[in-house]
Structure formats: C-alpha cells, structure tokens
Amino acid sequence: MAKIKTRFAPSPTGYLHVGGARTALFNYLLARGLGGTFLVRIEDTDVERHQEQAVSKIVEDLRWLGIEWDEGIEVGGPNGPYRQSQRLDIYAGYVQKLLDAGKAYYAFETPQELDAMRRTAEARKQNFRYGRPDPLPTAADARRAQAAGRPVVVRFLCPNRDVTVHDDAFGEVTMPAAEMDDFIIRKADGYPTYHPANVIDDALMGVTYIMRGQEFLGQTWRHVLLREAWGFLEPGYCHLPLILNTDGSKLGKRDKAKIARRAAKEYLKQHGRDALEAIMPGDLANLRALVDDGIDDVATAEVLAEKIGTALPEVDVHDFRVAGYLPEVLVNFIALLGWGPPGDRERLTLEEMILLFSTDRIGKTNARFDRDKLLAFNTDASAAAPADRLLKGFKDYLSLHPESLIPASDEALLHRLLKATKGFRTFADIQAKCGVLFGPDEAFNYDDKAVDKVLKKGGESSGFAVLVQLRPMLQSCDWTAEALEKLISDFCQSRSLGMGKVAQPIRVAVTGSTISPSIYDTLAFLGKAKTLARIDRCLKRQTA
C-alpha cells in the first residue's frame, strides 16, 4: 500500500484560527505517526478575501506551534507550485476536459436574474435549485454573452443520483439527488471555485487522506462527483467536530466583532456619538458598519477595542501567542478538541501525540473551548518548565510587545523576573506585575482605590506615616535582598505592625498599585535611587 499523505490547505484571509490549527495538527500527527508525508499548500483563489500578508502569518503560526511539513509552501517539492493562484492554467485545462466531455456547460445569468430565481423558489416555499437549460449553451453562446457584458461561468453537470460519502468520524453520509444542483466550477473572472481547485490539487499532489472541519462534510458530494468525472482516485475522509464556546456558540473570529460592538455601544451611551467617532475619524464608514449595521468586521473591531480599552477573546493562534501562552500548551489543548487519547490522558507532548494519535478516537460530539482549562494547563506547564524554556518563551512574548519596557536583551534579568513571579499563569502576568518597574518614575499612575485603602487610612499608623518613617532608613540601607529583608522585618517588629501594613504602602508608592512581585524583589529590581524617587513622588500626594 502507498504511504499516507495528508495536507493542510488554508485560505490566507488573516492569522491562523485555532480550528485551522487543529486541522493542521491532526493531519501532521497522522502523517508522522504512520510514516507518511504532510503537505501544506495555500488556497488563494478567493480574490476578494485574499490577504497576501496572511500567507507569512500562517506559516509563522504553524512553525511557532512546532508543526513542520515535508512538502509545500516555502519547503518545495515535486508537485508545485503550492499556491493555487499560480496553478490557474492547470485548472483551466481540467475544466475544459469536462466541457469537451459534456460534463460541464456554460451559464451566464446575471446576479439579479439569479436573485429573482431564488425569490421565486422562496415564494413557492421550495429550496432553490439552479434550473439546467435545455439545450445547453454552446461555446459560441458563451462568447456572444461575454461580448454583451454578461458574466460567463462554467457549471458542473450533476448526474441524477444520490452520493454517499464514507467518513471515518461520521460514518455513511448520503446527499440525495433532489438536493443537489449544477454548481459553478469556474467563476466569471476565470478563477476556479473552491471545489475543482481543491480536488485537482489533492489528486495531482498525491493526497490520500483528507481531514478537515465538519463544515466541509456537506460539500464533499461535489468532490466525489468531480473526482469521478476526471477519473481521480477517491481519498479517505475524516471530518472533525465543530469547536464551540462554552455557551454553545461557534468559536469564530466574529466573536471579536460582537464583543467590540457591545463595548462600543456602552461607550456610546456613556460618552455620546461624537466621542465614539472621534476615536476613529479616518475610518468612520467601517466604524459605523460595525456598530450600527452589525457588520462583523474583525479588523475594525480589533482597532476599536484597543482604542477603548476592551479585551477581545483569543481566537487566532497569534492571539494566544500575544497573550503569553506556551505553544506546546496550546498544541496539547487543541489536540483534545475532538480527539480522546488512550487512557483519557490530558497532558501530552507532541512526540507522545504522534505515537498515540489515530482517527478512530475522533468523535462526532462538538468540542467545547474551555479557556479556564487552557489557562490551568498553561499555569501548570509554566511551573514545571525548565528555566531555559521559560526564558525562550518570555523573550518571544516580549518581541511581540515593543511597548514593554522590560529589557528583553538582559537574559540574567529575565531569569530573575521569571523566578520572582513563579506561579504566573501566562507571560502577560509578568508584564502586569513587573512592567511598571522598568518605566520612568513619573510615568505610572496611582490607583485611587489603592491610595485610599493602603495609604490614607489609619491616622498616625497610615501607609503614608509608614513611608515617612521608613524612607530615611531605606536611604541608609545597603541595597541587598538580605539587608532589605532585615530592615523591613525589624521595622515591623519595632512598631508591632504586620508585614502587609508595611509592604503594601511601599508597593503602592513604587508601582501605583497593590500588584508586584514580593516587596524585596520589587525593591531589588528598582534599585535604591528609583525606589526613593518614587516614594518621594508618592509622599507629595499626602498633602495633595
């Protein structure tokens, strides 16, 4: 038997969605486990939605996850080119074969005429099916229609019979002939539609097994018929269950648009229309389409959310990378979305997944994307990871956050930060706890609630009073962890104060909030000069 060959064929419309990452991962695991070949090609024939910069984004996302391929984009191989936009002549030849064999025909209805047909079907309470013309238009008819400015497409002539697809996850799936119609295989712009290009590429590139999302299962009958018409061998199939949010809605990029829209409407209520539109004066049309018309424009949603300070859910692989997750944790987590390892194991390395993966353990039940579980996975993995692994991950995180003032080139310092914040959930926690320590002394803001609770209350034993007494002692102290610990400990004992009554005022004074590493680590990172300067700044608020 020929070795198995799987593929991942994304459309470059943005960063890699976690659903696409799962598809890539499962195809990679199956090929690796069976000693086969894994291929990655780019399906970029959707001219309207294509984003050229997304090609490199997808490649980068896959490699960040640790998913490598044997053949395809950037790797090369004997079956290229591996971008569909560079294979148009190949598709044109195969479409012409169907036309010559009477298995496809020209059609040239306008969008308005097709809409009228759909409305007629709706009025009759019928599903719309394209009505095959009789006789079929000839090539001469098509040329005349094109000369008249009509859109000329090519439709596949569907045989009048049911089509059954055997799927390794969903079993026998039959599409009745009554629900099929003559679908378009070449658009008016000369580009193929998804179906023929996909089928031709899989056949010519030697793909023997296709794993993809469940949403494609209802389209697979088209691929079966096209393969038969061209005489291609039929591959094996396994369609993967949907990935849902915990509330049962489908996990998708539109989640970002919905949340940004909701936040924008709250912002509008509080601040008014003029204030909202002043946020994005150069993009009012897209802003209004998102907020007022309900258009799920993710790019606009991301820009708007950043400007009004709204956190959007992670949906793309890149989102999780920016949020500070370890790639091996994300890979482990998405592997469990629809696949159950033997023994119900949950914590797996990529190497272990390769050994254990099989399609017979892929279920039909939709998977739930439990973010709390993923966060727990990452917390545990970060606590167990070697120091060098964490350093590499933290440096990658910082490379995506140029606004961070933590010096990414100082590896000794980064090791100290990682040790001081041990127990963090994601690398973003380190930034949240420690970022302020590396900024200008006058740049951070004070949390009013922290000032009121920690510094002002208590009269003669208030936090401000503690700072006044402690400040000259800190100035004369040797700036070592041991000396600082002894100073603060002795101060607490001499005044019968708990550690919190001393450490928290210092923390608020030097960071503006109640969140930072241990007070000794905080002061060590700041150094004496910056600590004293920040305490002096804070004490000015005592009389403000």
Catalytic residues, by residue number, are 253
Q: Show the 3-state SS of 505-536.
A: HHHHHHHCCCCCCCHHHHHHHHCHHHHHHHHH
Question: CB-based contacts of 86: which residues, under 8 Å, 6+ apart?
Answer: none
The two tokens of residue 392 are: 């590499």
Rg (CA), the chain: 30
Amino acid 249 reads: S
Q: Quick one: CA dihedral 425, 427, 432, 433, positive or negative? A: positive
Distances from the Cα of 106 to the Cαs of 103, 414, 454, in angstroms? Answer: 11, 65, 78
Find out whether 6 and 38 touch, Cβ atoms under 8 Å: yes
Element (H, E) at 228: helix 220-230
Pairing, β 5-8 against β 71-72: unpaired
Q: Nearest to residue 333, comparing CAs of 260, 426, 447, 440?
A: 426
Find out whether 64 and 57 touch, Cβ atoms under 8 Å: no
Q: How many CA atoms does the CB half-sphere of 519 hold within 13 Å?
A: 21
Q: Quick one: CA dihedral 133, 134, 139, 144, positive or negative? A: negative
Amino acid 58 reads: I
Q: Nearest to residue 41, comparing CAs of 27, 30, 218?
A: 27
Question: What is the C-alpha separation between 5 and 510, in angstroms, rounded?
Answer: 59
DSSP 441-460: TTTSPP-HHHIIIIIITTGG
